[in-house]
Chain A
Amino acid sequence: MSPDLAFLIEVVVGGLLSGVMYALVAIGFVLIYKTSGVLNFAQGAMVLFAALTFVSLTERGLPFPAALAATLAAMGVVGLAVERTVLRPLVNQPPITLFMATLGVAYVIEGAAQLAWGTQVHGLDLGIDDTPIDLGGVLVSRFDLFAAATAGLMVALLSAFFRYTRTGLAFRAVADDPLAALNTGLRLPRIWSAVWIAAGIVALVAGLLWGARLGVQFSLSLVVLKALPVLVLGGFDSIAGAIVAGLIVGAVEKVSEVYLGPVIGGGIEGWIAYVAALGFLLVRPSGLFGLRAVERV
């Protein structure tokens, strides 16, 4: 294999693996959007809250599993509390109202997290060393592989949950046709609660992986901005779309940074995903896998 080709593959693989991390954040959005039509801007704040809680607990001497369990419980409580106190009273309000509410929630959660745990930057060590391993001439980050495997496992668990449990069936029914689900007697508030808890758990996984990568700090909540182009590309209501789009965005970012960067100046990584998403919007407004709304009035 020529060194140039090996380098290209390396860049693409690196991009794909970092794309998994974007997908992870995007899945949290999709879960809530699919079942309740709410674009939860607070997902990023939940990621920050999870990472900050976990790291602060371990720094106070809690062993890893205990801290993980405590954070998991905390995320469940946060998800439930947001659903109960903010979104349920606003049910049947226009989407923009719900979006604004989650924007407010995002700031409250960020503030609460920093009030409780302080504002300094924490390192988060998950015990995976980040030395690259050599896979047939292509160097791949060990941590990225671990992150991808974790994300894959989580997606598999979520899929199994939706496929084989009664709550999962109810979730799919609501996502498929909310009015019919309501009419069938499915208790939407219960399903929303379950989904917010699930989104909290997804935020925990994303928070740990992103926190280990970037350090646990306020800017962690800005990963939402990385998830938005992924959502536009993949469709707001498709988990598969979130994964595929995450991979595409990751790869596009890295490839353009490496190959376009020297031509038009660096820093492409920050905005190229938005350009790609905007371009894509013109062609397919509902995203790669999003449902096109066909309504009979």
Chain B
Amino acid sequence: MSAAPTLLQVEALEVVYGGAVHALHGVDLAVRAGEIVALVGANGAGKTTLLRAVSNLLPALRGQVTAGRLAYDGRDVTRTRTDALVRAGLVGVLEGRHCFRGLSVQENLVAGGLGRGSGRSDVRADLERVYGLFPRLAAKREVAAGLLSGGEQQMAAIGRALMGRPRLLVLDEPSMGLAPRVVEEIYRVLAGLNRAEGLTLLVAEQNVRLALRHAHHAVVLENGRSALAGSAASLRARDDVRSLYLGGAECPEAAAPPEARRRAPA
């Protein structure tokens, strides 16, 4: 695994919104081809901001990368338009799903194909593939996406991203607000794509237990900094992670002195 090339490299990244609000100050992260990397942390830790930076969506949200480096497959992300990143295989699924609510499921998916610039036959083939992965979408292909359940909307959003034939799929809280059974189904499909096709995944999750179960590696964000990184198994085993994020019995203060909990950014 460690021989695989690094697909996404984030170094000492800092992000400011509206020229005033510091959302990230010093995030490091590396995603190697073929890995599932989880990005975990509390609400407001900066997970969404980091993923927006990765897709170069910040300029549209009045945000700006002020320092650090962000590279995808040799490209400087901050200098590459989102649509160019998509065509290079970096495709994102936004927090809160963001389906085109007024468009049918099929139109949502086709739009994903248009984003990649797929020809008609590619779009047809990819549609069948997505419907195969998410049979519930196939049954509702003519239904407006806004009328779907939350889980189906998440599947439509992921399906739309898969229509872009990603190499690196970036997902922001795919489990948010969904029933456990639906979450299982979605993660089963994603993990299956990772195993069968080597699809690389970067997943932000508030549900740390879930994330550490599926991921190979994980990075913990705290207050806009990457506080901790390592293999999912080693993080699962750590007492402080258990107590802070996995609902351990101990209260956080008792777990370990802060110096031992935090690893300085590499």
A interface residues (Cβ-Cβ under 8 A, vs B): 92, 166, 169-170, 172-173, 176-188, 296
Contact = CB atoms under 8 A, between A and B. Distances in A.
Contact of B114 (A170, A177, A188, A296): A170
Contacts of B87: 185
Contacts of A179: 57, 60-61, 94, 98
B86 A176 contact: no
Nearest to B100: A176
Given A180-B98, A184-B86, A184-B161, 20 more contacts: A92-B59, A170-B111, A172-B103, A173-B100, A173-B103, A173-B111, A176-B101, A176-B102, A177-B99, A179-B57, A179-B60, A181-B100, A184-B91, A184-B111, A184-B115, A184-B164, A185-B87, A186-B111, A186-B115, A188-B83
Q: Considering the complex of A and B, which 6 residue pairs feature the smallest CB-CB distances, nearest first? A: A185-B115, A185-B86, A180-B98, A184-B115, A176-B100, A185-B83
A185 B91 contact: yes
28 contacts: A92-B60, A166-B114, A169-B114, A170-B114, A172-B102, A173-B107, A173-B108, A173-B111, A179-B57, A179-B94, A180-B99, A180-B100, A182-B60, A183-B55, A183-B82, A183-B92, A183-B94, A184-B91, A184-B111, A184-B115, A185-B83, A185-B87, A185-B112, A185-B114, A186-B83, A186-B115, A187-B83, A296-B96
B91 A177 contact: no
A30 B62 CA distance: 25
A184 B102 contact: no
Contacts of B102: 172, 176
DSSP majority for the B interface?
A: helix
A179 B96 CA distance: 12
A169 B82 contact: no
Contacts of A183: 55, 57, 82, 92, 94, 98
B13 interface: no
Given A92-B60, A170-B114, A185-B82, A177 B98 contact: yes
Nearest to B96: A296
A134 to B, nearest CB: 43
Interface of B: 55, 57, 59-62, 82-83, 85-87, 91-92, 94, 96, 98-103, 107-108, 110-112, 114-116, 160-161, 164
A177 B101 contact: yes
A172 B82 CA distance: 19
Contacts of A180: 94, 98-100
A241 B134 CA distance: 36
Nearest to A167: B114
A173 B96 CA distance: 17
The interface centre, meaning the residue of A169, A172, A184, A296 with most chain B CB atoms within 10 A of its CB, is A184
A155 to B, nearest CB: 18
Contacts of B92: 183
B5 to A, nearest CB: 23
A108 B131 CA distance: 52
Nearest to A188: B83
A5 to B, nearest CB: 41
B23 to A, nearest CB: 14
Contacts of B55: 183
Contacts of B112: 184-185
Contacts of A182: 57, 60, 82-83
A13 B117 CA distance: 48
A176 B103 contact: yes
Contacts of B110: 166, 169
A289 to B, nearest CB: 12
A185 B94 contact: no
Contacts of A178: 60
Nearest to A172: B103
A107 B153 CA distance: 46
B176 to A, nearest CB: 11
Contact of B107 (A169, A177, A186): A169
Nearest to B56: A182
B158 to A, nearest CB: 12
Nearest to A187: B83
A178 B94 CA distance: 12
Nearest to B170: A183
Contacts of A185: 82-83, 85-87, 91, 112, 114-116, 164
Contacts of B160: 184
Nearest to B161: A184
Contacts of B83: 182, 185-188
Contacts of A188: 83
A20 B125 CA distance: 44
Nearest to A178: B60
A145 to B, nearest CB: 33
A4 B62 CA distance: 60
Contacts of B98: 177, 179-180, 183
A183 to B, nearest CB: 5
